[in-house]
Amino acid sequence: MLIAHKTKSTHFAFDSKQKIFVSMTSSLPRSFDFFSQIWANASDQGFVLDHGGVETVFTLSQGNYDGHGDLSSWRFDPISSSVLKNPDIKGVSVLIFNS
């Protein structure tokens, strides 16, 4: 059962050339937990992004660090079942900067 937190794509800027949604943690709703457990029976972390009524499940794929070893951002990629339902989301990712 899907239990991930949901948010709207309006909280993100979209770069169509790079196929990436981008936001700062400080720009996201305080109630939004982008590290929420996605399924009740698994430990995957991520969230559901609602983009124009189309919901896509994104899972944490990478943490990015700056030159000082501080965590600067997180990258999330769509799960394969979301891509199968909406092929347009293939290659799209979400980048959330730590702010």
Which tens digits make up the pLDDT trace of 27-50? 998 888 888 999 999 889 999 999
pLDDT value, residue 1? 87
**Best CA proximity match to 34, nearest among 61, 5, 55, 70:** 5
Residue 14 lies in a domain: yes
What number is the average pLDDT over the span 44-72?
Answer: 93
Structure-derived torsion over alpha carbons of residues 57, 61, 67, 68, reported in degrees to the nearest 10: 80
Cβ pair 21, 12 in contact under 8 A: yes
In a domain, 1, yes or no: no
Q: Predicted confidence band at 18 (pLDDT cuts at 50, 70, 90)?
A: very high
> What's the total number of domains in the chain?
1
10, part of any domain: yes
Give the range of the structural domain holding residue 71, as residue numbers without chain letter.
Answer: 6-97
CB atoms under 10 Å from CB of 83, counted, come to: 17
